[in-house]
Amino acid sequence: MTNAAYFKVTEKTIADLIDMLGQSGVTADREKRAAYSIDETIPRFEREYVADAVCFPENTEQVSMVMKYANEHLIPVTPRGAGTGLSGGAVPSRGGIVMSMERMNAILEIDHANRTLTTEPGAVTAEVTKAAREHGMFYAGDPCSGDISFIGGNVAENAGGNKVIKYGATGAHVLGLEAVLPDGSVVMFGGKRRKDVTSYDFIHLIVGSEGTLGIVTKIILNLIPYPKCVTDLLVPMPSVEAAVKLVPLITTEGGVIPSSVEFMDRKSIRNVEDYTSLRIPHSDAAAFLIIQMDGMDRRQLWSDAERIGDLCVRNGAVEVFVAEDRNARDRVWRIRKLVAEEEWTNAMPILSKEDIVVPVSEISKFLDRLPEILARHRAICNAYGHIADGNIHITVFPDGIGEDENLHELAHPMRRELYAFVKELGGTLSGEHGVGLKRKQYTDIFLNEAQIELMKRVKAAFDPNNILNPDKLVP
């Protein structure tokens, strides 16, 4: 892979891009460039990196033209969805062109015979879910950011979310995708079929590749029947250990694969109470679980809910609140949503948001030792997340760090110590938020030399000039 000395975007470049995309398809306006150069990563990469131009292609052909041009002129290109990423993947670390997919937002087709939905990458995830629903079908991808993220961004990050334990992450729903490679060539991997061993599994190489191998321009998604009934249990638990121990029992003893199991620690719950007028029963409990079950048969679901409720009580639950109707269920999930909202609006500055995964059996060990590690770095945290996947989001707050101190610099030694412990427990760097710019310097903790070398060779095979989203994911 050439570590390219990139060429600068000049007035001539802008004029050439306008020739390809039209006046409304390109901007070099300073404010717009800055706005399209950040995502939701905390602490922000604000003003650290700014694109020289932002392109808004309307179709695959235009994406292809820009990529061909950028490849020939050695100009870095950063693909961008809705910019809700939490790892700096859409941040143009070398300037150059940001390729926004927002105008490629059409849901192209719902095919009943093949149970597929074909969409452009700029469709908002919730719109995809809604379109499938209107046809009586279910798109089961469900990141918590679904109301704002794009489906193309979900594919590029292999976004997870609440329903992975039963339905899988985004990649599990992708049957086919069209991508524009860094040299501008257009490829179609997979299609409206559920079996294909004719080639390497390029679909799942592109899924989760964070825009480093190709720009996704069309996606074919698998649809399933819409689950007719849903029940949520809100379960305060006396200890984190008891909560963690309960999770696998839901399936092994309870005989149910839940559609979600979410965890919130006491600090998360207390933060929500401080932030709102909401009073959460048993908010002094050490941990809360939300257990969601769905299905087609109401009676079956009732009996499952009863059995899982009993199981919770037998395993120490302080109480089990059952939410069956829409309003009650919304109230339960509002608590979980407020945990994240409170952080975003109230609790800045944040030193770091982490996306740790450890085997479920190791979660208690991880959470027990966490305060001690963070204290060494003048930090505290709250923890919540997708516990059935072993995926715990921790939000790390400064505790005694001065306002003038550099959070990026302080976060670094904290993350190294934390990740070394995660590795010791058999865990990994990120479950769903991605490596991006934020975590790339830590991949060496989790990948050995042979793996890193292989990643570099794959990247070079797709992108020999290293123009597509340089500095992301690949060590």
Report if residue 140 touches ligand FAD, rule: CB under 6 A.
no
406-410: long-range pairs with CB below 8 Å, 24+: 407/43, 407/349, 407/351, 407/352, 408/43, 410/351, 410/377, 410/378
One residue of 26, 75, 131, 159 binding ligand FAD per CB under 6 A: 159
One residue of 13, 21, 40, 309 binding ligand FAD per CB under 6 A: 40
Q: What is the C-alpha to C-alpha distance for residues 10 and 376, in angstroms, rounded to an integer?
A: 48
Report if residue 57 touches ligand FAD, rule: CB under 6 A.
no
Residue 112 burial by Cβ neighbours in a 10 Å radius (0-12, 13-18, 19+): exposed
Report if residue 340 touches ligand FAD, rule: CB under 6 A.
yes
DSSP state letters, 105-135: --EEEEETTTTEEEE-TTSBHHHHHHHHHHT
Q: Among the candidate windows 27-35, 158-166, 293-301, 452-460, which touches ligand FAD by CB under 6 A?
A: 158-166
Phi, psi of 191 (to 5 degrees): 170, -155
Q: What is the C-alpha to C-alpha distance for residues 190 and 194, in angstroms, rounded to an integer?
A: 9
CB 339, min distance to ligand FAD, A: 10
For helices 240-252 and 298-314, give the axis angle rounded to 10 degrees. Answer: 140
Could you say which residues in the range 181-210 bind ligand FAD, by CB under 6 A? 210
Report if residue 466 touches ligand FAD, rule: CB under 6 A.
no
Interior/surface letters 218-240, b for 16+ CB within 10 angstroms, e for the rest: bbbbbbeeebebbbbbbbbbeeb
Report if residue 157 touches ligand FAD, rule: CB under 6 A.
yes
Beta carbon nearer to ligand FAD, 236 or 436: 436
Q: Among the candidate windows 144-152, 251-259, 264-272, 296-304, which touches ligand FAD by CB under 6 A?
A: 144-152
First to last CA, the chain: 12
Residue 277 burial by Cβ neighbours in a 10 Å radius (0-12, 13-18, 19+): exposed
What is the CB neighbour count within 10 angstroms for residue 449?
A: 9
Report if residue 232 touches ligand FAD, rule: CB under 6 A.
no
Q: Among the candidate windows 52-60, 79-87, 290-298, 304-312, which touches ligand FAD by CB under 6 A?
A: 79-87
Beta carbon nearer to ligand FAD, 80 or 459: 80
Residue span 245-284 as binding mask against ligand FAD, x where in contact by CB under 6 A, dash where not: ----------------------------------------
Residue 395 burial by Cβ neighbours in a 10 Å radius (0-12, 13-18, 19+): buried
Q: Among the candidate windows 49-57, 73-81, 221-229, 239-247, which touches ligand FAD by CB under 6 A?
A: 73-81
Beta carbon nearer to ligand FAD, 179 or 291: 179
Residue span 80-109 as binding mask against ligand FAD, x where in contact by CB under 6 A, dash where not: xxxxxxx--xx----------x--------
How many chain residues touch ligand FAD (CB under 6 A)? 38
Name the 3-class secondary structure at 235: strand
One residue of 25, 79, 141, 182 binding ligand FAD per CB under 6 A: 79
One residue of 211, 254, 398, 470 binding ligand FAD per CB under 6 A: 211
One residue of 117, 123, 215, 379 binding ligand FAD per CB under 6 A: 215
Answer for the pair 181, 214: CB distance below 8 angstroms, yes or no: yes
CB 54, min distance to ligand FAD, A: 12
Task: Identify the sign of the CA torsion 5, 9, 11, 13.
Answer: positive
Residue span 436-465 as binding mask against ligand FAD, x where in contact by CB under 6 A, dash where not: x-----------------------------
Beta carbon nearer to ligand FAD, 318 or 338: 338
Report if residue 110 touches ligand FAD, rule: CB under 6 A.
no
One residue of 329, 377, 433, 459 binding ligand FAD per CB under 6 A: 433
HEC sequence for 379-422: EEEEEEEEHHHCEEEEEEEECCCCCCCCHHHHHHHHHHHHHHHH
Report if residue 129 touches ligand FAD, rule: CB under 6 A.
no
CB 99, min distance to ligand FAD, A: 8
CA 19 to chain centre: 35
Beta carbon nearer to ligand FAD, 83 or 96: 83
DSSP state letters, 275-303: HSS---TTTTSSEEEEEEEEES-HHHHHH
- In the complex, which residues of this chain contact ligand FAD (CB under 6 A)? 39-40, 78-86, 89-90, 101, 121, 143-145, 149-150, 152-154, 156-157, 159-161, 210-211, 215-216, 340, 432-433, 436, 469, 472
